[in-house]
Structure 1
Amino acid sequence: MNSTDKFSNHVREPAVAGLFYPGTATELRASVERCLAQIPGDAATPQAKAIIAPHAGYVFSGTVAARAYAGWRDLGDPISRVVVLGPSHRVYLRGMALPASSAFITPLGRVDIDRELAERVRTMPDVVIDDTPHAAEHSIEVQLPFLQTLFRNFELLPVVVGDARATSVARLLEQVWGGPETRIVISTDLSHYQNYTAANAIDSATSAAIRTLQYEAIGPEQACGCMPLRGLLYYAREHGLRIDELARCNSGDTAGPRDQVVGYAAYALHD
């Protein structure tokens, strides 16, 4: 990996546009708005400080992701900062990585990195500046079009979480938690490649662990984003916060066969 102690002015181009979500601005905005429109207004949870949302292709998990985001539809301009923590799918990473780049790009435009916040956490134990884990990683990228559709002006702190202790992730969350101007997104899917019945059983148990903040019960077999998820649960337990399930299904319910499915769920954390 190409870790460094410096930030740069280059931008991180989209890696999965046209694959996980539509590749043109018009189609992408329509896709996100279509997902959000399926969530009734009375399902909103605007008080949610943090959400847990899936990161598969929109055809598979877009509606579940929209259930997590729908509560933020009416928050508008007061949100100026969003912190997104996602797992590293393609690169082994010890600890957590901030990007060196100055912005992330999607077909909906540019999202600037919050350099002030990045400077605050860059010297924490287990944190490095490294573009390599971010370059091809989809877990953060697929969240951005939802955020760009909901919020007019915000800066981003994207954190790829690799092999990191729950306590280390929780300490980072403490530094970035902020006030009403800040929202947190934890990007994770649930079980992978089980048959439909087995996946439902595993995901039901995982969901119970999430709701009761049992971070110790969640590993890679329960959630591909187990490391950032465990950190949020640890933080929530420490601070007496509540997490509610909003929606849950798997790819066999949406756009895939039922012999090998991937689980998806949406949750809201109330500060």
Structure 2
Amino acid sequence: MVTRPTAVAGSFYPGQRGRLTRELDTLFEQADRPPAQVSPARVKAIVVPHAGYVYSGTTAATGYELLRGRPINRVVVLGPTHRVGIRGMALAGADAFDTPLGSVPVDPDLTAIAEAVPLVVTRPDVHAREHSLEVQLPFIRTVLPQASVLPVAVGDALPDEVAALLDAVWGESDTAIVISSDLSHYHSYDDARKLDAGTIDKVLALDDTVAPNRACGCFSLNGLLLASGEHHLTPTLLSARNSGDTAGDKGRVVGYASFAFQADQ
């Protein structure tokens, strides 16, 4: 059995089980309440940030709360590559991902389906130090402790190429999709709020032309936006802030938002 070890435990989030559990409890307590039009039972996908928990954890928890305790057995997680650039999408070649809360199994059936999708390759090196997927796993382990996952690192890929993967692994109500993305990077607080407001408008309009300088996970995000139109999902903004609102300097911030994508009926 091949297990992908943690790479950023102890830096992006607590590396000890007890401390991590307490941190997650606090983040969920502080999470924003969803708008009235969001019905958790109809939420198929969420978009959540992937910075250190002290910066973006509350925004992420707001999205994950909608998955808590639901009959979801499998979670597809797509996030950007920060360290190893690739064309296409990469699987980890692992049977499980380690976390301080215990290992999270990689779903073998979804893996087999994904392997047959064009531009999907198996590249353990792409996953080895990547944080955008790892930071999501303690949240998933907390709200869906029995779920298996399909972590996919997405490099340079067109919306229709990512949407083809999502279509292949879409599944039924027992399968959820998580897109890991932050928004703009390293602008002043006021400039970031304006830039991020424009990106949020694009997401809510299912406009799949979000640029890399507006969302670091734009390739995964644009794929979801295209697929959501085809699958009749409606996006709703759950929470938006930036690192200047949490633990960062207002002179140079990173933007965060969480969204829910739910079926019409």
Q: Give the TM-score taking structure 1 as reference length.
A: 0.93
Structure 2 residue runs without a partner (length 5+): none
Structure-1 residue corresponding to 2:62: 67
Is 1:45–1:70's contact at 8 Å kept on the other side of the alignment? no
Residue 212 of structure 2 aligns to a residue whose secondary structure is coil
With 170-179 and 32-41 compared, the bigger mean Cα shift is at 32-41
Counterpart mapping for 1:1-271 below 5 A = 9-39=1-31, 45-46=39-40, 47-75=42-70, 78-216=71-209, 218-271=210-263
Q: Percent same amino acid at aligned positions?
A: 48
Is 2:80–2:219's contact at 8 Å kept on the other side of the alignment? yes
Q: What is the root-mean-square deviation of aligned Cα atoms in Å?
A: 1.2
Residue 142 of structure 2 aligns to a residue whose secondary structure is helix
Residue 269 of structure 1 aligns to a residue whose secondary structure is strand
Is 1:45–1:72's contact at 8 Å kept on the other side of the alignment? no
Is 1:45–1:268's contact at 8 Å kept on the other side of the alignment? no
Tell me the distance in 1 between the aligned counterparts of 2:261 and 2:130: 25
The amino acid that maps onto 1:10 is V
Is 2:34–2:62's contact at 8 Å kept on the other side of the alignment? no
Tell me the distance in 2 between the aligned counterparts of 1:204 and 1:82: 28
**Paired residues, number:** 260
Distance of aligned partners of 1:59 and 1:141 in 2 relative to their CA distance in 1, 3 Å threshold: same
Q: Give the TM-score taking structure 2 as reference length.
A: 0.95
With 130-139 and 31-40 compared, the bigger mean Cα shift is at 31-40
The amino acid that maps onto 1:131 is P
Shift of residue 71, structure 1, vs aligned partner: 1.5
Residue 90 of structure 2 aligns to a residue whose secondary structure is strand
Structure 1 residue runs without a partner (length 5+): 1-8
